[in-house]
Chain A
Amino acid sequence: MSDDSPDSAQPSLLASVVAPVKTLLEEIGVLGDLAFRAVMWTVRPPYRFQLVIAQMEFVGVQSTFLVGLVGLFTGMVFAVQTVYGFRRFSAENMVGGVVALTLSREMAPVLTAIMVAARAGSGMAAELGNMRSSEQIDALETMAVNPVQYLIVPRMIAGIVMIPVLTLVFFLVGLGGAWLVGVKWLSLDPGIFFDRIKTMLAEADLRQGLLKSVVFGFAVTLIACRHGFFASGGAVGVGQATTRAVVWSVVGVFVLDYIITSMLTQV
């Protein structure tokens, strides 16, 4: 290829690869900066306990029923599927243990985080976006109140504390659902069902689930706050911010899930 006849497809091809990568890196930069500011402002007084409690109520208490419901059905479905699959080689007494493993390591943290992203994350993005577009965030700043400290820190603390709690709820209710289907309806032996849970479920499984839920709690609230906090463009902008908050926090949960799993699991 000579110098004076550049391949015309090349710049656009290059651009179409570079542009999204650049956007992604910039986005990670924005999130990193916001996370850093949130941590800095968490340790600086004044400590706003009331705001934290209000957010915990919003993230946690108001999501409990929903998370429990999803947990129940997830456990029930898993019991049916594993009984069906394991019966082929007469291993259905493993069902309790397998369901407990899957729930603790994957289903409970991931699905809980997704439920919270859909319910509380979207709410946070919409509320912060409205506050941005109606100049309430500017007003806070004018009154010498740091908006990151006042608005974002309580939400992130609530997410980091409450998503693990909700994950535990999901796990326990999910096990209950599996027990209901497996033992009550498909007549597995209750003693073996619980015994397999005890022998198969190691402390490391619970630890992995807990770690995931903490990381997801951080990520989901950070991404939701980021989209609301920096929203622009009036009502349309707030709508877009809400959508992006949910979409990107769900994507974030799956990506982080893979990263944590591959780091903690020796196959």
Chain B
Amino acid sequence: MTVEAHVVVEGLVKRYGDRTILHGVDLTIGRAETLVVIGGSGAGKSTLVRHLIALERPTAGRILIDGLDVAALSDVELAKARRRFGMVFQKYALFDSMTVFDNVAFPLREQTKLSEKEIRERAMTKLKELGVDHAATLTPAQISGGMAKRVGIARALVMEPELLIYDEPTSGLDPVTSRTVDQLIEEMRARFGVTSVVITHDMVSAFDIADRIAMLIKGRVVAQGTPAEILVVDNPDVQNFIRSSGVDPARFTQRVGRLSAEELAARVAERKRDAAG
């Protein structure tokens, strides 16, 4: 399927002092596509996605979102653009001065004019979908890591953004909850035509949810393609990575029920009409 490009990364180089973390990364992510980024620890995956929402400035290269160079935006323009982004952080990043409920309600209070009643409804619905509604009145310090991760996901999803970045959404979760999170990522794409970038070490989830997989090694994209293509890619590092994860190329199937390209295109068009009208 050919979809319009949503996010384009061109020749992205990032240096901290004299350490080069990203050596010229090129990536194109289509609208309503799920790109999974895999790669070893310290490969620069988090650094890469932090550039997508302008949490880092490129040393060289550009990030275009909807054709807009995010590094060139002013504070105010950037704040506006960010309303359409969401991010699930690797270390949860919950505000520990607030309850779980207030954390999820926070973006709604900041960015919308919804009434407190509507905010409560929406936030509680999201917490329920992730199975953490019973923890609504607790603070982040009082809940487990797995619960904190789910609250972080709820907070990112509650705004129903167009671009969602998940930094290791299933790490630290039990297998059952991990699959629930996979379903949610797929559902966000299916229901709202969300473009997703997912960093993961969980190969089951990678192969389940990906439209495309990109493998990052030491700051370079060494392979990218559909899950089926990645499985047979002719690169010893990639093959080693997949074999070590225990995914068996011979018996690989995607378990998450996926929409066809036509169905998805129709939904995206519908969402755009809603947004315009």
A-to-B contact residues, CB < 8 Å: 130, 134-136, 138-139, 141-146
Q: What's the Cα separation between A130 and B93 when bound, in Å?
A: 10
Contact A143 B89 (CB under 8 A): no
B contact residues around A145 at 8 Å (CB) = 110
Interface centre among B86, B93, B94, B95 (most CB of A within 10 A): B93
Q: A142 with B83: in contact, given A134-B92, A136-B94 (CB under 8 Å)? A: no
Name the residue on A nearest B82 (C-beta).
A144
Contact for B75 among A130, A143, A146, CB less than 8 A: A146
Contact A139 B110 (CB under 8 A): no
* Contact code string B144-185 (vs A, CB < 8 Å = 1, else 0): 000000000000000100000000000000000000000000
B36 at the interface (CB under 8 A from A): no
Contact A136 B79 (CB under 8 A): no
B contact residues around A134 at 8 Å (CB) = 91-93, 96
Q: What's the Cα separation between A138 and B156 when bound, in Å?
A: 13
With A138-B87, A143-B107, A144-B80 given, name 7 new contacts (CB 8 A).
A134-B91, A139-B94, A141-B82, A142-B86, A143-B110, A144-B82, A146-B75
Contact B87 A142 (CB under 8 A): yes
A contact residues around B80 at 8 Å (CB) = 144
Contact A138 B93 (CB under 8 A): yes
Interface size on B, residues (CB 8 A): 24
Contact for A142 among B82, B91, B92, B94, CB less than 8 A: B82
A contact residues around B111 at 8 Å (CB) = 143-144
Closest CB in chain B relative to A259 CB, distance in Å: 33
Contact B94 A143 (CB under 8 A): no
Q: A142 with B79: in contact, given A134-B92, A136-B93, A136-B95 (CB under 8 Å)? A: no
B85 at the interface (CB under 8 A from A): yes
A contact residues around B110 at 8 Å (CB) = 143-145
B192 at the interface (CB under 8 A from A): no
Contact B55 A141 (CB under 8 A): yes
Q: A138 with B50: in contact, given A143-B110, A144-B111, A145-B110 (CB under 8 Å)? A: yes
Q: What's the Cα separation between A130 and B92 when bound, in Å?
A: 13
B106 at the interface (CB under 8 A from A): yes
Q: Can you pick out 26 interface pairs between chain A and chain B where the beta carbons lie within 8 Å of each other?
A: A130-B96, A134-B91, A134-B92, A134-B93, A134-B96, A135-B91, A136-B93, A136-B94, A138-B50, A138-B55, A138-B87, A138-B89, A138-B93, A139-B89, A139-B95, A142-B53, A142-B55, A142-B82, A143-B110, A143-B111, A143-B159, A144-B79, A144-B80, A144-B83, A144-B111, A145-B110
Contact B82 A135 (CB under 8 A): no
B contact residues around A139 at 8 Å (CB) = 87, 89, 93-95
Q: Which of B76-116 contact A (CB under 8 A)?
A: 79-80, 82-83, 85-87, 89-96, 106-107, 110-111
Name the residue on A nearest B53 (C-beta).
A142
Q: A135 with B90: in contact, given A141-B55, A142-B53, A144-B111 (CB under 8 Å)? A: yes
Closest CB in chain B relative to A69 CB, distance in Å: 28
